[in-house]
Amino acid sequence: MKLKVGLLGAGSWGTTVACLTAKNCDTTIWARDINTVKEINQNNTNEKYLPNAILHKGLKASHSIKDTVKNADVIVMGIPSQSFRKVLEEAKPHIRPWVPIISLAKGLEISTKMRMSEIVEEVMPGHPAGVLTGPNLAKEIHFGKAAAAVIAMADKSIAKKLQTVFNSGLFRVYTNSDIIGCELGGALKNIMAIASGMSDGANAGENTRSALITRGLSELTRLGTAMGGKQRTFAGLAGMGDLIVTCSSTKSRNHHVGFELGRGKKLDQIINEMNEVAEGVKTAKVVMELAKDYNVDMPISNEVYKVLYEDNTVFEAFRGLLTHEVGSEKEPG
């Protein structure tokens, strides 16, 4: 018997992952927008989020959270971080006991500074929590480009079982038991992608981008390990892998935000012109607080924060970084 997947959120990544799981499992995707539900069921498309894509024919869409989750063996949360808790709370009364809940989100909740698996543990105690993460641009994966990802869960045997839900020929899913590192890698790299986009938008050059990626990795590893993540995780798909793709691709929404800032546009205008989430914009706020809480130096994130929220220019951000003391490569800074 095929496992049943209930996936909440029909944005670009939620829809892409639903098409992947539909290859292996009976999959129902929930969208709050009834037109998206009708479009998926009638045309096998989701033009708003995946233009020109034909979705898996077996994928069913529903406008009812209850119907989506009530028989599911696995719940997948394709909801952005700031709405994750609200949607999970709505689904909670209908989810069967002990069903694993896997997050696709790459961000931290602003009001609590929590990771998504921590929210799952708080809202749904007893349910195994996990994250699917890695260098996974939805618009490439949907169109059949090969990619690798990580499913991270504390319980290795459940992770192994769920590997088979997401894994397919061109989408290779590895397991990892370091859920803290995997979630933080995904959330923190978005801020570095904004920095890299700013650098590209301002035409700073490829050496600059490379320096930002490398020092960015060092910076996110510092905070990530201070918070309990494992150093090796940050050198893997969930860390370096995701950092490289998001910092170098014009398909990344976080890179796009940075790029437009680098060209002199204002943040409000950039966000208003987008119809997709760029998690790094909000995560930057949380990360500044975490850097203080854990007493970790985060010069790149700090400069990104000042451009996003203190009206600093991209030029001032570069000057800030260039005047930051240069120490040993192993030391902060």
Ligand X SMILES: NC(=O)C1=CN([C@@H]2O[C@H](COP(=O)(O)OP(=O)(O)OC[C@H]3O[C@@H](n4cnc5c(N)ncnc54)[C@H](OP(=O)(O)O)[C@@H]3O)[C@@H](O)[C@H]2O)C=CC1
Ligand Y SMILES: O=C(CO)COP(=O)(O)O
Which positions make up the binding site?
A: 9-14, 32, 49, 106, 134, 138, 189, 242, 252-254, 277, 279
301 binds ligand X (CB under 6 A): no
Candidate list 19, 27, 49, 179; residue touching ligand X; CB under 6 A: 49
d(CA 233, CA 219): 14
Q: Which of 110, 68, 60, 100 is nearest to 87 (CA)?
A: 68
Smallest distance, ligand Y to C-beta of residue 252, A: 4
d(CA 332, CA 330): 7
d(CA 154, CA 102): 12
Q: Which of 167, 105, 96 is nearest to 128 (CA)?
A: 96
Q: CA–CA distance from 171 to each of 138, 146, 149, 290 (Å)?
A: 11, 6, 7, 33
d(CA 60, CA 103): 20
131: partner contacted, choices ligand X, ligand Y, none (Cβ within 5-8 A by kind) = none
Smallest distance, ligand X to C-beta of residue 10, A: 4
Candidate list 120, 279, 281, 296; residue touching ligand X; CB under 6 A: 279
189 is catalytic: yes
Q: Please report, as ranges, the residues that interact with ligand Y according to CB under 6 A.
A: 106, 135-137, 190, 193, 242, 245-246, 252-254, 278-279
Give 105: exposed, middle or buried? Use CB within 10 Å, 0-12, 13-18, 19+.
buried
Radius of gyration of the chain (CA): 19
32: partner contacted, choices ligand Y, ligand X, none (Cβ within 5-8 A by kind) = ligand X
Q: CA–CA distance from 178 to each of 113, 233, 253 (Å)?
A: 19, 7, 26
Smallest distance, ligand Y to C-beta of residue 224, A: 16
83 binds ligand X (CB under 6 A): yes
Residue with tokens 């899913």: 173
Smallest distance, ligand X to C-beta of residue 65, A: 9
Q: How far is CA 255 from the centre of its chain?
A: 13
Candidate list 61, 79, 184, 195; residue touching ligand X; CB under 6 A: 79
247 binds ligand X (CB under 6 A): no
224: partner contacted, choices ligand X, ligand Y, none (Cβ within 5-8 A by kind) = none
182 binds ligand X (CB under 6 A): no
Nearer to ligand Y, 95 or 194 (CB): 194
Residues that bind ligand X (CB under 6 A): 9-14, 31-33, 49, 78-81, 83, 86-87, 104-107, 136-138, 276-277, 279
Catalytic residues: 189
